[in-house]
Chains A and B, each alone.
Chain A
């Protein structure tokens, strides 16, 4: 019965993306209206509409427009972009490594990006070159980890997927340990850096939004170019070659696109686990494994998931903002287990 429902949903799935976008818009308006100062939905929508159309917002108090456009909007957009980036890159890594566990967090890419970003903060590049040094440091850290993990996994092709996860866990743990060491050495900065590591979006600006949005756009285009060929690599690399796929090209596009997205998301939002594993996995169970649909769905659903998680993080406890990573883990783990058990029953 459930499988039949899945089949029906799957064949209507072209329309699902519209639903995702509508839900995402509703969640973002809710996130914009909730906070220490509550704003009515109608006000939020009207101010946003006027701002988008280039019309004057002088009819509203400056405090309202400032809270909405300078504080909450960049934050909510950054959260949505981060969710989209982590989720789409998770879907792509899972396809490339043929492993459902291969999300940016598990294979150590996010930890590598965190270490790179932390070095950029602590060692000086951010002071010398400004905000752009943060995603660049994260990208260098992330690409270093993904290349190391890939090299280790390819040494023994027969066990490459297991080796990849184990190597990712080992290298990711090492990167996390080095990050923690740098944080301890940072002294008074430590609290701020810890909040960054746990995924806090408390202080963000439009520059961060622009950088993450640019990385997301480049990354998603890279992934969509090779999404169809990534389907064939799920059979095996050899089968991919036999079916006319240029495996090196696909690998290059995925590693660059997914790592760029992960690095920029981690650089401005810290380490957020589970988004890159739960969202693509849940979508795959419902809509099938075709990466041409899965990657854009994962981007939309990841954005929706993280905006909802951020809303919870900001409202569940008065006066205290819980780091996003804690909320995603608390929501993600049970949802993931329910989906896994349901699938076991229907197989």
Chain B
């Protein structure tokens, strides 16, 4: 059982406190959705969780070990992250980009082994990009590149998978596919932490939801506990309707008729 413990974590950019006193405890096999409006500090929180930006105060520990004390190589074996913006370098095939996930596991003078190749093949298959394996990754569409980045993170075989808006560039089919993969990974014992904008997707998939606003925790708990109509209207500063969902155990939100966005459309 792997656990990750975030204890009163604060992150600053210059003088600005971007993440302010956020705490979280999660264990393997669960899906944590981090939600909140733009600028809430979701991406910064995830980057701090991945250990790529320093904390101003507080601590983040994995199985009791502070992640700040791990080398990048040790960290890569435990934590994988798909960033919000994916960049594919020109001149590399999709397979070569996904294979980068295995670099941390072998010294520079050792070639990839058969088990690495098998993991790469499985990741390509899971993300439905096997047919592009020999294509130049830089020539793929935004959605396809997003799936390449997810495949690379899966091939890393980490205990914690961090996804920063994993469905941002994807159509409905591939949104469902990526979230299905994330769910399968949680069943295999991986802890998935994902920043999400779609409240309904978050409600449908997450075991635990962390709602951030201006860097602070507004609420956290099960989707039903956190996705409260009044709280969401206040945080997102817009009118919402909570309508009955076929699965009565989860809330479902749409923009209300009097919301500014709705008025602009009509």
Q: What's the minimum C-beta distance from B74 to chain A, rounded to whole angstroms?
A: 8
Known A232-B100, A244-B77; 8 more pairs at CB < 8 Å: A242-B50, A243-B100, A244-B104, A245-B103, A246-B71, A284-B91, A288-B93, A288-B96
Q: Please provide the 5 A-B residue pairs with the shortest distance between their CB atoms, ordered closest to farther.
A: A244-B104, A289-B91, A244-B76, A234-B89, A244-B73
Is residue A231 contacting chain B, with contact meaning CB distance below 8 A? yes
Indicate if A333 sits at the interface (CB-CB under 8 A). Answer: no
Main secondary structure of the interface of A (DSSP, over half): helix
* Segment with Cβ contacts to A, from B79-87, B182-190, B220-228, B240-248: B79-87
Query: How long is the Cα–Cα vector from A98 to B90 in the complex, in angstroms?
Result: 10
> Could you tell me if A288 and B87 are in contact, using CB atoms closer than 8 angstroms?
no
- Interface check B30, CB cutoff 8 A: no
Q: A7-B134, A226-B108, A229-B103 are in contact. Are A242 and B91 (CB under 8 A)?
A: no
Interface centre among B50, B100, B104 (most CB of A within 10 A): B100
Of the four ranges (under 10, 10 to 19, 20 to 34, 35 or more), the interface on chain B belongs to: 20 to 34
* A242 & B103 in contact (Cβ 8 Å cutoff): no
B165 to chain A, nearest CB (A): 16
Cβ contacts under 8 Å, A243 to chain B:
76, 100-101, 103-104, 152, 156
Chain A residues in 8 Å Cβ range of B92: 231, 234, 288-290
Give, as a whole number of angstroms, the nearest-CB distance from B193 to chain A.
14
List the A side residues contacting B90 at CB < 8 Å.
284, 289
Pick from B50, B100, B108, B156: contact of A235, CB under 8 Å: B100
Q: With an 8 A cutoff between CB atoms, is B204 at the interface?
A: no
**Is B72 close to A, CB under 8 A?**
yes
**Contacts A226-B108, A234-B89, A289-B89 given: A246-B100 contact, CB under 8 Å?**
no
Q: A70 at interface (Cβ–Cβ under 8 A)?
A: no
Interface footprint category on A: 20 to 34
Residue of B with least CB distance to A238: B52
A236/B87 in contact, CB under 8 A: yes
A-B pair number, CB within 8 angstroms: 78
State whether A235 and B87 are in contact (beta carbons under 8 Å apart), knowing that A243-B103, A290-B92, A347-B139 are contacts in the complex: yes
Q: Are the C-beta atoms of A242 and B52 separated by less than 8 Å? A: yes
Contact between B76 and A235 (Cβ–Cβ < 8 Å)? Answer: no
Closest residue to B104 on the A side, CB-wise?
Answer: A244
Docked CA distance A232–B103 (Å):
9
* Also in contact, A228 and B89, with CB within 8 A (given A238-B83, A242-B52, A244-B73): no
- Known contacts: A239-B83, A347-B139. The answer to whether A246 contacts B134 by CB under 8 A is no
Chain B residues near A246 (CB-CB < 8 A) = 71-73
Residue in chain B with minimal CB distance to A249 = B72
A339 CB-CB contact with B under 8 Å: no
Give the nearest-CB partner of B85 in chain A.
A236
Question: Known interface pairs A225-B108, A244-B76. Does A235 touch B103 (Cβ–Cβ under 8 Å)?
Answer: no
> Does B75 interact with chain A (Cβ within 8 Å)?
yes
Within 8 A of B (CB), among A285-334: 285, 288-290
Please name 12 pairs of A and B residues whose Cβ atoms are closer than 8 Å in the assembled complex, sorted by A. Answer: A7-B134, A231-B100, A232-B100, A236-B87, A238-B52, A239-B87, A242-B52, A242-B83, A244-B76, A285-B91, A288-B92, A288-B93
The answer on a CB contact under 8 Å between B103 and A244 is yes
Q: Which residues of B contact A98 (CB under 8 A)?
A: 89
Contacting residues of chain B (59-73) with chain A, CB-CB under 8 angstroms: 71-73
Residues of A close to B89: CB separation below 8 A: 98, 231, 234-235, 289
* Residue of chain B at shortest CB distance from A292: B108
For A234, list chain B residues within 8 Å (CB): 89, 92
Minimum Cβ distance to chain A for residue B52 (Å)? 5
Whether A242 lies near B81 (C-beta < 8 A) is yes
CB neighbours of B71 from chain A (8 A): 246
**Residues from chain B with Cβ under 8 Å of A231 in the complex:** 89, 92, 96, 100, 103
For A7, the chain B residues whose CB sits under 8 A away are: 134
Q: Please, how many angstroms separate the alpha-carbon atoms of A238 and B103 in the complex?
A: 15
Is A241 on the interface with B (CB-CB < 8 A)?
Answer: yes
Nearest CB of chain B from residue A260's CB, rounded to whole Å: 20
Residue pair A244, B108 in contact (C-beta under 8 Å): no
Would you list which residues of chain A between 204 and 238 have a CB under 8 Å from chain B?
225-229, 231-232, 234-236, 238
